[in-house]
Amino acid sequence: MEIRGNQERNIAVEVKDLKYTYSKGLPYEKEALVSVNMLVYEGEAIGILGHTGSGKSTLIQHLNGILMPESGEVKVFSEKINNDKKFLKNLRRIVGIVFQFPEDELFAETVYEDVSFGPKNLGLTKEEIDERVLTSLIEVGLNEGYLNRSPFSLSGGEKRRVAIASTLSMKPKILVLDEPTSGLDPLGREEILKLIKRLKNDKNVTIILVSHSMEDVLFLVDRVYILNKGKVVFGGDTVSIFKDKDSIEKFDLSIPEIFMLGEELKKEGFDIEEPFRDVEVAKKEIIRNLK
Amino acid sequence: MIGKDSLVIGQYFPGNGLLYSLDPRNKILSFLFLMIIIFFYKSLFSFIPIFLLVLSFIIISKIPIKSILKGLKPILMLLIITLFFHFFFTPGETIFKIFFLKLTKEGLNKGIFIGSRLIILIMISSLLTFTTSPLELTKGLEFLSLPLEKLKFPSTEIIMMITIALRFIPVLVEEADRIIVAQVSRGASFDEGNLIKRAKSLIPILVPLFVSSFRRAEELAIAMEVRCFQPGKKRTYMKRLTWKNIDTIFLIFIIIFGSLFLFIK
C-alpha cells in the first residue's frame, strides 16, 4: 500500500484493474471500463469526474454489486465483492447509491412509504423503520409534516431530497451520489451540497461524488479521479488540480469562479492562506485582509 | 435485469450485404410470399432448398447463428408440444409403444414436417427483422397499406402509432433497467417469496415507468404539435424509399424459387 500520511485510516473502497464490457460478444459491444484503479479511505470525500461516456456510471454500479467485474476486483471494507446473495444484500446496506435524477424512482403513495422502502427490505422492526424514516427526513431538511404527503405533489427539490432520504434510511457507510445537484435551482443545489457535507463531517460517511459541476467538486471533495475512455487519467488533490493549468486544459475542466477569485487576489498581493472553496471561505479570507 | 440482449425477437442487427441494401417493401413482400408459399408445400423435401436459401441469406448477412437460435427460443415450448401431439396422437402404423402412447410412422412424418415448417417460418421472419430497422419496416408497411386508405382505413395514423411505439421500446427498456438498478440498490429483490409478494415487488418498477411514460407522451405530443403535425394529413419524408432493379430481380427470383418446389410430392 502506498504511504499517504493517513495510513491509520481504513480503506473503504479499493478498485483494482477493473474492466467491464457491455453486450460482450455482440456486434455492438462497448468497452466501458478498460482498467480502473481507485482507492477511497473511510470518511473522505472523493470526486469522480469525466465526460459523458467515460465510464463513471459503469464504475459506480460496480460498487454495490449491480455489475460484476469482467476482470479485476472491487473490495469494500477489504471484502471482495462476489455474487453471493446474502453478501450482496449486506453490501447494498453499506453502499448506498443515489442515482442521477433519483426522484424518477419514487413510486409510493406517501413519502413515508417511499423512504421506508429500503429499511423494510432490510427486514427491520416497525419502530426501527419509523425512527429511521424520520431521522433521514430531518437529515435532508424535511419534517414529519411530509410523512403522509404524496411524493408526486412535491416540488423538484423536495422530491430530490425525499429520494436521497430513501437511500439514507438504509444508513449507508459509503454514499455514492451521481450528479446529485443536476437540474436543481441554486437554492436546492446549495441545500443538497450542505447536506452531503454534514453527512461527511458529522456522521463520518464516506462520500463518492460523480459530477460535472466543478463548483460542487471544489466545495465537497478532498480528492478527485478523472476518468477518460474507461481509464483513470488523473488522481489527486482537488485544490492542486485547479491550480495546475496543464491538467485543467488537458482534461477540459473549468475552474470555478470563486476559486479563480482567490488565485487572482493572491496574484495581486493579498495574503490568502486558504484556497477559496466556497463563499464562506472567501468571505473569511477577504475580511481578514481588509482588517 | 432485463438487459438489452434479451429482446431478440424483432431486433435489428446492424450490418451490410445484399439483404440490407434491398427496399424494405421488397423484403416484406418477398418474405411474406415465402412464408405463405411454404404452407402449400406437401413434402418435407420441399423445405430443404428453402432452408438452404434462408441459411445462405443468414450467412451473407453475417448474422451469428447464436442470435437466430436465441430467436427460436420463445417458440421452443410450442415446438415441443406440437411435436409431442403429432408423434403420439396420429393414428397409423405403430413403431413403438410406451404405456398408452403409440409412436406412429405417420405421426413421425407429420411431426417433423410441421416442426420444420414452424422453424423455417420463424427463421424467415427473424431474418426480416434482423436485416431491416424498425423504422424502415414501418415505412415499408405504410407504403404497402396505402391502398387501404381508399377504403377509409386510417393506415397512416396506425403506422404513426406503430412507429412511435417501436421508437420508444428501447427507451422504455433502458428506463426500466435504470429503475430496476436503483430499486435493487435500495435492497429490493424480485425473486423472493410467493407469487403475490413477487407481483407486489414489481410496483416500485411499474409506477415510475408509467409516470415517466405519461410525461414522455405529453412532451412528444407537444413537440409534434409545435411542428404542425396533423393526424391524417399527407406527409413527406426525408428518406424516401427507392425501388431498384436489384429489388425487381430479387422479388422475381424469390417467387420462382418458392414456386419451384410447390409440386414435389
DSSP chain A: ----S-TTSPEEEEEEEEEEEETTTSTT-EEEEEEEEEEEETT-EEEEE--TTSSHHHHHHHHTTSS--SEEEEEETTEEP---HHHHHHHHHHEEEE-SSGGGG--SSSHHHHHTHHHHHHT--HHHHHHHHHHHHHHTT--GGGTTS-GGGS-HHHHHHHHHHHHHTT--SEEEEESTTTT--HHHHHHHHHHHHHHHHHH--EEEEE-S-HHHHHHH-SEEEEEETTEEEEEEEHHHHHH-HHHHHHTT----HHHHHHHHHHHTT----S---SHHHHHHHHHHHH-
Tell which residue, A206, A164, A172, A234, has the closest CA to residue A13. Answer: A206
Q: Do B189 and A61 touch (CB under 8 A)?
A: no
Residues A132/A124, Cβ–Cβ less than 8 Å: yes
The answer to the question of residue B47 being in a domain is yes
Statement: residue B186 has pLDDT above 80: yes
Looking at the fold, whether B72 and B42 belong to one and the same domain comes out as: yes
Average pLDDT over residues B104-121: 89
**Residue B67 or residue A219, greater confidence:** A219
Looking at the fold, whether B34 and B126 belong to one and the same domain comes out as: yes
Chain A residues within 8 A of B4 when measuring between CB atoms: 23
Looking at the fold, whether B117 and B221 belong to one and the same domain comes out as: no
Interatomic CA distance for residues B237 and B250, integer angstroms: 25
Structural domain for A19, as ranges: 11-103+172-255
Looking at the fold, whether B123 and B254 belong to one and the same domain comes out as: yes
The band of B234, judged by pLDDT with boundaries at 50, 70 and 90, is: confident
Query: By 3-state DSSP, what share of chain B in percent is helix, strand and coil, each rounded to 5?
Result: 70, 5, 25
Give the pLDDT score at A7: 53
Give the pLDDT score at B10: 52
- Rounded to a whole number, what is the distance in Å from the CA of A286 to chain B's nearest CA? 44
Supply B8's cell numbers: 431478440
Statement: residue A97 has pLDDT above 90: yes
Give the pLDDT score at B3: 44
Structural domain for B93, as ranges: 18-132+243-263
Give the pLDDT score at A8: 67
**Residue B187 or residue B251, greater confidence:** B251
Tell which residue, A115, A61, A117, A116, has the closest CA to residue A91. Answer: A61
Give the pLDDT score at B9: 41
Q: Do A99 and B211 touch (CB under 8 A)?
A: no
Under an 8 Å CB criterion, which residues of A touch B? 23, 26-28, 61, 64, 66, 89, 92-93, 96-97, 99, 102, 104-108, 117-118, 121-122, 152, 166-167, 170
Tally of structural domains, chain A: 1
Top-ranked range on mean pLDDT: pick from A66-70, B58-62, B163-167:
A66-70
Q: Do A66 and B179 touch (CB under 8 A)?
A: no
The answer to the question of residue A234 being in a domain is yes
Residue A245's domain is classified under what CATH number? 3.40.50.300
The total number of residues shown for chain A amounts to: 291
Q: Per-residue pLDDT tens for B36-50?
A: 999 998 888 889 999
Looking at the fold, whether B59 and B99 belong to one and the same domain comes out as: yes
Give the pLDDT score at A62: 95
Average pLDDT over residues A253-270: 88
The answer to the question of residue A153 being in a domain is no
**Among A4-8, A23-27, B103-107, B157-161, which stretch is predicted with the lowest mean pLDDT?**
A4-8
The answer to the question of residue A130 being in a domain is no
Q: Which residue of A has its CA nearest to B203?
A: A107
Statement: residue A193 has pLDDT above 90: yes
Q: Per-residue pLDDT tens for A103-117?
A: 999 999 999 999 999
Chain A residues within 8 A of B14 when measuring between CB atoms: 27-28
Other residues' Cβ atoms within 10 Å of the Cβ of residue B101 = 11
Give me the percent of chain A exceeding a pLDDT of 70.
97
Global ipTM: 0.86
The answer to the question of residue A232 being in a domain is yes
The answer to the question of residue A73 being in a domain is yes
Statement: residue B6 has pLDDT above 60: no
The answer to the question of residue B254 being in a domain is yes
The answer to the question of residue A219 being in a domain is yes
Give the pLDDT score at B95: 78
Average pLDDT over residues B208-235: 90
The total number of residues shown for chain B amounts to: 265
Q: Per-residue pLDDT tens for B78-93?
A: 899 988 888 888 887 7
